[in-house]
Structure 1
């Protein structure tokens, strides 16, 4: 029994796989244990070691770790120098009374604290005590690009969220020392995540307030009217809208820009400088809305936005606005108006290749349309294009003789074929074809080449 107990201290292997249907439906299920699995495993291991001991190489794994360490150093995410976490923690401030989250700011932004519901762009590297290589890092995720994460929705470790909201953005570098309780839990996630304190080295690249409109609505009316509140809210809404536009979510982007316009309408600037900035922001919002409406094929809405812009400034002096005014006209089939707008835009930005190409394409399209329209009207009025007048050198007697022959053939009843003498010149053949083409019932047939060419005139029934 002692031997059996020793054998099953480690996980055992079943002789056959488990059928899930049997587990779900049958009351009794038998399991067969492979009593020889230990022996087989030992034999297999020893055999593999004998055969491949000389060629086993873990250099790939070592190289990967070296690359991670180098990337961390390059991105300023290397583990700092310290004797112990206890010694390091003395330089940090507590983000919680319990001391489970400690913060050390290396570089802090000049903006407000990161909101608890913000969307952030970060890189991080997580280290155990006295380790130089991170066991968890964003450097190995997302193709090495910073991660964009929304706070307050359970996508981040609690301790990380707490620490990040104690930092001023939009850009910052800082360290967070987290106890297991606010990281992956007191038991960790074995075997990879140990239940130990973890040092996070973090670089914050950007902060976006995705709930800017809601927070603005919760403010008192007097606070909403303040210029500073307006500028901050507009900045957040624009960032949100730009991100949505970048991800091709144009309808949602339109909604964000419309919210921005509502915020601007409530603003009460106190001086000329603030008035000019509010005016500039309104123009930018209307232009961005026009671009979004172009993406969703709403030309009349684009024209509406452009008319709003023209009430604030002279639209003919704003390249992007007049350009999308042209886009709207083009979508509505008003090509002349579109070309006029594009020319004004190109005059403002002569080196803009996109506008130049659009004008060139429209010019070609107009030329082709004019030809098509002309042909269509000719067909409608039965006014086919006159055939090019043929030129040939024959004497008057030959021409008169061909005309008389044609008249005679036309006067005959039924089908008739008249063979012309061989040896006709090229001009004489052309003359015959030209004169017979005036009669629908006559047709010229040619057979052979050169002096042996046979030419006949057929009179159809």
Structure 2
């Protein structure tokens, strides 16, 4: 029987935490579980990793877990005892069953009781270096996402999570058995002892902030404190959605935030200033989200709304997204104007500089291409190569006419050369063809038949 528990046992059915803590629970083990897996017969003596030393397998696994915990700052603190550690902690509840030590304070509001959180944790018994439970060995080593308020995680863990500021934080929780798996534990793996949870919180999504606001009476909704709490929750959730590329859902959160801000009734100038800042943030982030889902006209509308409450020219991001929206609809010259204004506010901003450089290059290439198109459109068609004409006259006649034409073409004044009468039609055609090769020369014909007079005239240039 002992050999069965030398390796972890995979339960065929999940454990209901509520039943585990409040009722008697029996576990039935299939002693042949090693021989069954997905309907296949497996010989556990087979060497699946021939390059590994069997004796060191367990040590390697534990060493990897320890290294991963250290790398992700989930290592057990080197205290002599939990009693010594408890002296440095604060009580999360009056009974002292849940104690907390903040290692790195998070930013943002307190984690809501019904939030969705993403975290890594490692749980240790006293004076141990290897966690007996950890997200490092679950979910392929990725952080785990949990929904609070559903009674699906340890009570003490949930209490501690709702007493830190999110979306990021690092802290330790020391849980008494009653606040964890229950006074009896879950033998043999879970002892009825205190356990230390080392936790890194990565993100918080306040998925119900809008719903809680809508459930309030109108007078409560107008209060500044309610506005700030609700909007911060909506912004935190929207930021998380944006990071997951869920842009349309993020847009809904920002739109609801603006509705909440419009309902608010601030009582002091400081409160009015805070409301205005939050509206500016909403409009800028909405412009970005609309650009992400290829709706530039909506993005432009958000920037124009921003301009109504605060001069757009004083907001670098607003100008940048306004420029991008113009760029997306093909208004490149306008885009250049807004990009340049944005860069003037933040000369070292690489994103703006790159967008400006890319657009500038695009416009130069477009101008060059347009110039080539117009040049091709107006360019004269190439002259057709004349075919060599064979005239029915002797070569001496042709050479004589050609020399005469050359002499006349070189003259700068008006000149006329009368050819003898009695020329044949072939000779006249030859003269006309040869004269056409010289600029400024024309053939003049007078009369008919044998009395026809043919002259070559040099026109004044």
TM-score, reference length from structure 2: 0.62
The corresponding residue for 2:354 is 357
State the partner residue of 2:65: 68
**RMSD (Å) for aligned C-alpha atoms:** 4.7
Could you tell me whether the CA contact under 8 Å between 2:81 and 2:126 is conserved in 1? no
Unaligned runs of 5+ in 2: 1-29, 383-401, 410-425, 431-436, 439-461
Q: Which residue of 1 aligns with 2:339?
A: 342
Q: Specify which of 152, 160, 165 is matched with residue 164 of structure 1.
A: 160
1:107 maps to which of 102, 105, 112: 102
**What residue is the counterpart of 1:270 in the other structure?**
267
Structure 1: 5+ residue stretches without partners: 1-9, 21-39, 388-395, 413-434, 437-461
SS of alignment partner, residue 245 of structure 2: coil
Give the distance between the partners of 1:168 and 1:265, measured in 2 at CA: 29
- How big is each residue's C-alpha offset from its partner over 1:346-370, in whole Å with a ceiling of 9 and x where there is no partner? 2222222332333333333223333
Question: How many positions carry a matched residue from both structures?
Answer: 353
The equivalent position to 1:59 in structure 2, one of 56, 81, 87, is 56
Q: 1:289 to 1:92 in 2, by over 3 A?
A: closer
Whether 2:198 is the aligned partner of 1:202: answer: yes
Cα distance in 2, alignment partners of residues 18 and 249 from structure 1: 36
2:281 equivalent in structure 1: 284
The 1:11/1:73 distance shift into structure 2, 3 A limit, reads: closer
Name the SS for the 1:58 alignment partner.
helix
- Kept in 1, the 8 Å contact 2:122–2:134? The answer is yes
Q: Give the corresponding residue for 1:183.
A: 181
Query: Alpha-carbon deviation of 1:160?
Result: 4.6
Name the SS of the counterpart of 2:297 in structure 1: helix
Deviation per CA, 1:129-161, whole angstroms, max 9, x where unpaired? Answer: 66442121134456766544322356x434355
Question: 1:78 is matched with which residue: 76, 79, 84?
Answer: 76
The SS at the match of 2:230 is: helix
Distance (Å, rounded) in 2 between the aligned partners of 1:17 and 1:264? 56
- Paired residues of 2:121 and 2:198 also in contact (CA < 8 A): yes
The equivalent of 2:318 in structure 1 is 321
- Following the alignment from structure 2 to structure 1, what is the Cα–Cα distance between the partners of residues 80 and 326? 66
| SS of structure 2 residue aligned to 1:106 | strand
Tell me the distance in 1 between the aligned counterparts of 2:147 and 2:404.
Answer: 96
Q: CA deviation at 1:216?
A: 1.5
1:287-314: CA deviation from partner (whole Å, max 9, x where unpaired): 0000000011111111111111111121
Q: 1:19 to 1:253 in 2, by over 3 A?
A: closer
| Aligned equivalent of 1:252, options 249, 254, 267 | 249
Secondary structure in 1 matching 2:207: coil
2:98–2:179: 8 Å Cα contact kept in structure 1? no
